[in-house]
Amino acid sequence: MLAHVLQVRSGAYRDGGTLAFVVPLAVQPQGMAVSGRPRPAALPIASGMSRARPPAAPTVLARPAGRLARQAVAAFIAADGTTLARLGGGRPPSTHPLPAGWHAIGVGGAEVTQTPGALVAQVAVRVRPPAGQASYVAPVRVGLAAGPRGLMVRRINEGGPS
C-alpha cells in the first residue's frame, strides 16, 4: 500500500512525500481480509530516484498567485463561469473535473511553485466520494500565466492527468 502524506498547517499544505507499507492479506471464502499489522517498507522504485520539487515562487508572486488560484478553484466548484472567465483574462480556463460522483466541500490554502515559463499553484480541496461521509484533502493544480492585466488562470485540474 502506498500513502501520500500532505502536511496541513495554518490552512496551507505541504507535500510530505510518499510512504510504503506491506499489508498482510488472507484469502477467505467471503473475500480478502487484512491478516496482520501493516509495517513500513521501502518504496517500490529504483534506489536513488527522487522527484525533483520545483522551487517555491518568490513571495511577491506567491501571495497573489495563491489568492487567484483559490478564487479560481472556488469559482470552478460553484460552476461560476462569469468569475472563471474574469480570472482567465476574458475566457474561461481549461478544466479537468473530479472523477464522477466525487464533489468538493471546501477550499484550503495554496502552495505556489515556479519553473522557467510556468507558475503553478496547488490548492488543497476537501472532497467527498460518491458514497459515505468520509472526506479527503486532494491537491488541485492551477496553471497561471502573466497577462496584460497581471496574472491569469489558464488551467484547473481537479482530478486527472495534467
pTM above 0.75, yes or no: no
How do residues 66-88 score in pLDDT, each as one tens digit? 999 999 999 999 999 999 999 99
Whether the per-residue pLDDT at 159 is higher than 80: the answer is no
For residue 81, what is its C-alpha cell? 463561469
pLDDT recorded at residue 161: 43
How do residues 22-58 score in pLDDT, each as one tens digit? 888 888 888 888 888 888 777 655 544 555 667 888 8
pLDDT recorded at residue 149: 81
Q: Which helix (H) or strand (E) holds 2?
A: strand 2-9
Amino acid code (one letter) for 144: L
Average pLDDT over residues 108-134: 86
Q: Where are the domains of the chain?
A: 2-41, 59-157
pLDDT recorded at residue 162: 42
E strands, 10-159, where? 12-22, 25-28, 31-34, 39-41, 94-96, 103-115, 118-128, 136-147, 150-157
Of residues 114 and 43, the one with the higher pLDDT is 114
Q: Give φ, ψ of 12 to 5 degrees.
A: -115, 165
